[in-house]
Amino acid sequence: MAPTSTPRMQLFHLLVTDDIDPEGVELLRADDQFVINEQPTRPWKDLVDEIGQYDAFIGRSATRLPAELLKHASKLRVIGRAGVGIDNIDIAAATELGIAVINAPAGNTVAVAELFFGMLIAQVRHLARAFESMRAGRWDRGSLTGSELRGRTLGIVGLGRIGSEVAVRAHAFGMKLVSYDPYIPDERFELLRVERATSLDQLLGRVDVLTVHTPITDETRGLIGAAELAELKPGAIVANLARGGIIEEAALVAALKSGRLGGALIDVYGQEPAVADHPLRAIDDALLTPHLGASTAEGQRNVAVDVCIAVRDALKSGELSGAVNVDGTFGASWTEYRDAILLARRAAAVARALLADRQARAVDHVTLRVGRDLADGVGMLVAAAAMGVLEGVIEGERLNLVNAKARAEARGIALAAMTAVGPDPVHGVQVTVRSGGREVCVGGVASPGGTPRLTRIDSFSVDVAPRRTLIVLGNADVPGVIGRVGTLLGEAGVNIAEYHQARLTQGGEALAAITVDGPPDARLRQRLLALPDVRSATVVNFGDTEHGREPAWS
């Protein structure tokens, strides 16, 4: 019996830091493919000399990952962020370098919402002063009368995951709710029984408590400044448990000092850790916590487990459904997309190869048409098609689903996509590649549970699996061609896996799509072209591994 070779186990080296909860890390340690180096938080500059060893980085917000560090991360495929905020990572640089950034957006949502109410009640019931006075041996009952939340109006800026959990809990306290979030549909407001403010101004003058739960973006940096604070009712309380800078710190300090505000609840700061003499520290009505929003055992366990699973799946099987720098919303259906991704990539590679053999110039347009069941992942499928077109063309640069679109566009390739309507297969993928006015269309179907099939090359209907090596022959529809091609391949020791002969009209143009095992001899194409009635021959080597699987990362 011929000896069978087993694939060598690929090892992935991971740097884990920022005190990720052990339950997540254990999950990775239990897998022989992962070599974990767990370290305490270090300044990013200390990582420059070592980041190049790792396939993945997993951390929280304490470690910054700026472009200056990422450019040394030559092996890095994935950055896993145990938490939601990704403002410590240079996303543009990671994307350009083909590094997927995966966060864990949901696991600490409740922790933040609960802290908000903890702080709010502490503020309106003067709890900090009460604790302090008891410790000091006093009985300050008379001066510590507080107020209730019931009947007060809470203004929530940003009605996403955390804003929504805050809303749900605010109802339990009998609060009235108004929210400003231009990116959330009306139905969500209705479901949460929250009145919609159509502008920030519409909300500011009405609320007793204002809380922000947006990400920090160009739009939200300084969203609440001196002018907005001045719009608030006297005695209003403001809260920022989202990101430092959404409420301008200097303006907040001034408003608190003026006595107009009833207090501030602050968990996050423009610069963290907050400096020892931060002006907010000196203000009695500012209730401050050191970025504790997500710091519950449950929250940390959730985000650690979520991110470690996501990083594991990204490294081992190329799953990128949780990557913030990859287009598409995949939900739980990544396995369906995996085949469609392979099909888009290979269809594009076939189209590019056919154009190249027809002496076309560089590719200038790639258009993707997908069946309606693949519509959610169209962005990812465009990236796959861009990869297929560029593979073998660009060298020395990493190319993957994270950066393929940017790489293609940088080369002047216009990318477009559409979702098919009507009779197209619902799992169909069709790639049209154009070059200087000439174009080739290659399509197929990636039905769930089946093997992806190529079903169209140019105007010809075919049916072959795009695997190992595909030979596309153009020939005259005359007797004897198939026999001669078979004999030539047999004599060359090339085993045919599938042979699909197609024609448009009897005696006219014909096309054969032939898949063969293993990459054939480089001279095969010339020998095929020398056969009578063969007019064109294109050989596309898909580069599958010996065991029929494409590597998860290229």
Q: Which amino acid is at 467?
A: R
Partner whose binding site includes residue 368, from ligand NAD, ligand MLT, none (CB under 5 to 8 Å by kind): none
Query: Is 301 an interacting residue with respect to ligand MLT (CB under 6 A)?
Result: no
CB 268 within 8 A of CB 291: yes
> Is residue 261 a contact partner of residue 232, using CB atoms and an 8 Å limit?
yes
Q: Do residues 110 and 299 touch, judged by C-beta distance below 8 A? A: yes
Select from ligand NAD, ligand MLT, none the partner in contact with residue 157, using the beta carbon and a kind-dependent cut-off of 5 to 8 Å: ligand NAD
| Selected binder of ligand NAD within 28, 58, 94, 162 (CB under 6 A) | 162
Over the Cα atoms of the chain, what is R_g? 30
Neighbours of 326 (CB within 10 A): 23
**527 is a contact residue toward ligand NAD (CB under 6 A):** no
Q: What's the min distance (Å) between Cβ of 246 and ligand MLT?
A: 13
Min dist. Cβ of residue 188 to ligand NAD (A): 8
Q: Give the 3-state secondary structure of residue 464.
A: strand
Give the one residue of 124, 156, 157, 310 binding ligand NAD; rule: CB under 6 A.
157
| Residue 158 sits in the site that holds ligand NAD (CB under 6 A) | yes
Helix, strand, or coil here: 382? helix
Residue with structure tokens 């009998």? 174
Which residues have CB under 8 Å from 112's CB, separation 6+? 162, 165, 213, 241, 293, 294, 299
Quote the tokens at residue 279: 């002006």
Q: Is 242 in the site for ligand NAD (CB under 6 A)?
A: yes
Query: In angstroms, what is the minimal distance from the CB of 155 to ligand NAD?
Result: 11
Per CB under 6 A, does 112 bind ligand NAD?
yes
Minimum distance of ligand MLT from residue 403's CB (angstroms) = 25
Residues of span 396-455 touching ligand NAD by CB under 6 A: none
Give the number of C-alpha atoms closer than 13 A to the C-alpha of residue 146, restricted to the C-beta side: 15
Selected from 160, 318, 328, 428, the binder of ligand NAD by CB under 6 A is: 160
Q: For residue 146, report the phi and psi dihedrals to the nearest 5 degrees.
A: -105, -160
Start-to-end Cα distance in the chain: 33
Of these partners, ligand MLT, ligand NAD, none, which one is at the site of residue 355 (CB under 5 to 8 Å by kind)?
A: none
Query: DSSP labels for 276-297?
Result: TT-GGGG-TTEEE-SS-TT-SH
243 is catalytic: yes
Residue 60 near which of ligand MLT, ligand NAD, none (CB within 5-8 Å, type-dependent): ligand MLT
For residue 367, which phi and psi values (nearest 5 degrees)? -120, 130
Which of 23, 14, 72, 15 lies closest to 40 in space, CA to CA? 15
Tell the smallest beta-carbon distance from residue 265 to ligand MLT (Å).
15
- Is residue 214 a contact point for ligand NAD (CB under 6 A)? yes
User: Residue 410 CB, nearest distance to ligand NAD (Å)?
Assistant: 29
Distance CA 432, CA 440 (A): 6
- When binding is defined by CB under 6 A, the residue of 208, 228, 267, 313 that contacts ligand NAD is 267
220 binds, among ligand MLT, ligand NAD, none (CB under 5 to 8 A by kind): ligand NAD
Q: Could you tell me which stretch among 136-144, 270-278, 287-295, 439-447 binds ligand NAD (CB under 6 A)?
A: 287-295
Q: Identify any residues that bridge with 368 across adjacent strands, giving them in sequence order.
A: 417, 431
- In whole angstroms, the minimum distance from the beta carbon of 85 to ligand MLT comes to 3
**Does 184 contact ligand NAD by CB under 6 A?**
yes
Among 83-91, 219-227, 332-340, 415-423, which window interacts with ligand MLT (CB under 6 A)? 83-91
- The region of 80-88, 332-340, 473-481, 513-521 touching ligand MLT under the rule CB under 6 A is 80-88
Q: Hey, which residues between 92 and 131 contact ligand MLT (CB under 6 A)?
A: 108
Question: Which is the catalytic residue, given 291, 434, 456, 467?
Answer: 291
Work out whether 60 is an interface residue with ligand MLT (CB under 6 A).
yes
- Nearest 5°: phi and psi at 300? -70, -40
CA–CA gap between residue 184 and residue 408 (Å, rounded):
32
Selection from ligand NAD, ligand MLT, none that 61 binds (CB < 5 to 8 A by kind) is: ligand MLT
Tell me, rounded to whole angstroms, the distance of Cα 451 from its chain centroid: 26
The only residue of 126, 213, 369, 467 in contact with ligand NAD, by rule CB under 6 A? 213
- Degrees (nearest 5) of the Cα angle 284, 274, 304? 115
Does the active-site annotation cover 500? no
Q: How far is the CB of 423 from ligand MLT (least distance, A)?
A: 46
**Strand order through the sheet with 100-103:** 34-38, 12-16, 56-59, 78-81, 100-103
User: Of 272, 498, 509, 550, which residue is the catalytic one?
Assistant: 272
Residue 316: CA count within 13 A, CB half-sphere: 12
Q: Which residues bind ligand MLT (CB under 6 A)?
A: 60-61, 83-85, 108, 293-294
Catalytic residues: 243, 272, 291
Q: Which residues bind ligand NAD (CB under 6 A)?
A: 83-85, 105, 108-109, 112, 157-163, 180-184, 213-217, 219-220, 241-243, 267-268, 291, 293-294
